[in-house]
Structure 1
């Protein structure tokens, strides 16, 4: 295992991340069969959170897991990329554990602190602009920010805290943009292509969670359409996150903010805008537009420093 992790760190990381989520789904499905009363637990989780004027995040999931421990696999599923990255890095893959954990510093070594601060300011501006777009699309007389206010301290406070509460951004990104992203960029001539490949990997990693969908009423056309939109979102999100990480000098925090922040857009305020957009949700539309702008102006390097940081 150690030799494989050192020779093929990205493949080892990805296979382990897939193994973890498949194990979680196998356990969950087994529990649903052995204890039929738990089969509706996931739906009840979402319904209870929505009924409380909250939205799905680390805190609200934790509250529901306390009521239904069988749902604890949600956390393991979401954290699988980071768990896998820590395991493979501890075996010497990808430059080792020290290099991986160094990406948790808010200012990466490949750029100046001033450049990183400018990037963070830009990210906050784009994040706020996204909320403004949602408010505009929702139309007059509709307030889309109730779930952010439910956190306490007002909508602005809720939006800022939401950057750190999202299970996707907070639990996944150490694996995706912290471990796999830099390694793919080291091995490919184009950082843009590396970001696209990482987005495809990110999308495919989610597929095990679709298993329950095949066990009930199933419309193949709708499923394929939804997965196509989700694939486009994952690729666009990867382009944005890889670019921001590169511009920060290698820090992981911009990716956490982008992944978590765009999830806040869709999960906390998306309902108000959803009826006007049909199949393509507003979050996907915004992320794709931003990714296209980045692709045009940043080019194949996606803001990567020259020469890039190499493993110690």
Structure 2
């Protein structure tokens, strides 16, 4: 089933606004709220745990936490703890992180692809309750097993953009997070690469694809959405705007391209209550279609 979520953007809203934003999202019936962990702003897992404790229904997506900054065993412990406390409500994702930001923290790696190829399978194994052994270039584990793995392991998402990372995500992750600013056709190409790589790797099951999409509701929605796309060509194809029914209709090409979950990146600094209310109404329209 097609899904809808929205983002709490740490660049347009401060951590002091997070609790109110979470409560608004829950009150409006927004199915998913997504956050991310950029250096050196806020901890994704601390924020997700707080948000889940404040709410009853909302699911929290982490898209993403940077692998170079986090030991894989520690990440597995974080995810397992949150999953056991709030079963089925965490959507954890990892990624390369912004490479220039990794160096100040002493965490930049020479081969982000190698790191992902070692890290994500180890993380998935640990969350499945398996023993993980690895003597890789970046991930070294000697008979590591979680004492308290989740009763049911959550999907592990990987962020991907370039062709090699898209294919690797399909090979090793359970889902992929695509950044905003892409046309439906560009998204289609990415989805085909991801799912083709999964099939080539002989992995059964469905790969879940999340796509961030710039969205705006209310006055001057079109201008604000297009402005947030930036200087890319054909900006009107890379965003959605209008009343909830209009936005739901504009999303059809993204879902037709193979996306499972559209997550709205609110245009600029806006009123989160209005934005999340609009997103929640779009979610209801999409679910009933």
TM-score, reference length from structure 1:
0.23
Give the number of the structure whose residues are more often helix, by fraction.
Answer: 1
Give the number of the structure whose residues are more often strand, by fraction.
Answer: 2
Q: Which structure carries more relative contact order (alpha carbon 8 Å, separation 6+)? A: 1
